[in-house]
Copies of this chain bind each other. A is one copy, B any other.
Amino acid sequence: MDELEIIRLMKTMAGKPPDGWLSIGDDVAVLRGRRAGVVLKSDMLVGKTDVPPGMTWRQAGRKSVAACVSDFAAKGVSPEALMVSIGIPRSLSDADIRSLIKGFGDGMKEWGVRLVGGDTNEADDVVVDCVLVGFSDRVVKRSGAKPGELIAVTGDFGRTSAGLKILLDGAKPDPKFRKSALASVYMPSPRLALGIKLAGRLSSSMDSSDGLAVCLHTIARMSGVGMRIDRLPCDVPSMERFAETNGYSVEDLVLYGGEEYEIVATVEKAGIKGAQAIASSMGEKLTVIGETTEPPSIVTMGGRSLRDEGWVHLA
């Protein structure tokens, strides 16, 4: 399948743009202006490092969109348009290319975004750079936390890092845990609808995909607050069983994993009940894991300070 056929497939998937938009087929894409701030995020997926064994190309395509969506979720912004630049190796079969493109379509449908442009190239490995665009004048920043607020997270942590240990390091899970751990790797679920609903109620927020500990340290540093963590946001029994069987620590799996597309946020104490009620009403959870404290920007748990450590490319 050559570039022209790939562009044809992408164009079909993009469909007819709304009035005032210019989409695939001209030199640039144009979105009708809105006066609100233009919100942008790019995220590059590379086959070698971001597509673990057993992940289908369709899942990889969806994941490449999910990674950007997760940042929009944390900022409370609804994404509208997507650009997808791809590098495709000659060795990739036509069926695999179609599958990858279907995955972009899955993401577009799931999160309600419209493809408006991109670029198609040959490369030695599959490379997908997604750019998501939206409009908002109310972006929840990383820097807005104040001392005396609650630290809360969506979802569970540790399951994705367990899944990656199963796939990459041969860790042995029980069958039920295996299923949910692999699902969290293959089909990540950024909390977009929840993030948008919560936006006005969070003082700061960050996408957790570089790891929970990194998020906590980043928010603490950028907001100029300290943090005291009281509990780990995970399903304790299943994580403990998996960690024990395989010689890991639950703390490492939960704090230093990454690839989890959850929201790490701070909320005023008076606002937490309302925020949690919103989450419950959507079938989601928002778990309080600690409290922000006066500066300096140290993050502690059980009296020890947590390492500021997460996934670093090229380390």
Q: Which residues of A contact B (CB under 8 A)?
A: 1-4, 6, 20, 22, 25-44, 46, 48-50, 71-72, 74-75, 77, 81, 83, 85-88, 90, 116-125, 127, 129, 131, 133, 135-137, 139, 141-143, 206-207, 222, 312-315
Contact = CB atoms under 8 A, between A and B. Distances in A.
Contact of A26 (B22, B43, B72, B141): B141
Most buried by B among A4, A127, A141: A127
A314 B121 CA distance: 7
B122 A26 contact: no
In the A-B complex, the 8 residue pairs with the smallest Cβ-Cβ separation, listed nearest first, are A129-B129, A3-B313, A27-B71, A44-B85, A31-B38, A30-B37, A28-B41, A29-B40
Contacts of A36: 33
A34 B33 CA distance: 7
B133 A46 contact: no
B35 A131 contact: no
Nearest to A209: B27
Nearest to A84: B42
Contacts of A123: 46, 48-49, 125, 127
Given A28-B72, A28-B139, A129-B129, A1 B40 contact: no
Copies of this chain held together in the complex: 2
Contact of A39 (B30, B129, B222): B30
A143 B27 CA distance: 11
Contacts of A129: 42, 44, 85, 119, 127, 129
17 contacts: A22-B37, A26-B75, A27-B74, A28-B40, A28-B41, A31-B40, A33-B35, A33-B38, A33-B137, A41-B117, A42-B129, A42-B131, A44-B85, A123-B125, A123-B127, A125-B125, A127-B127
Contacts of A90: 314
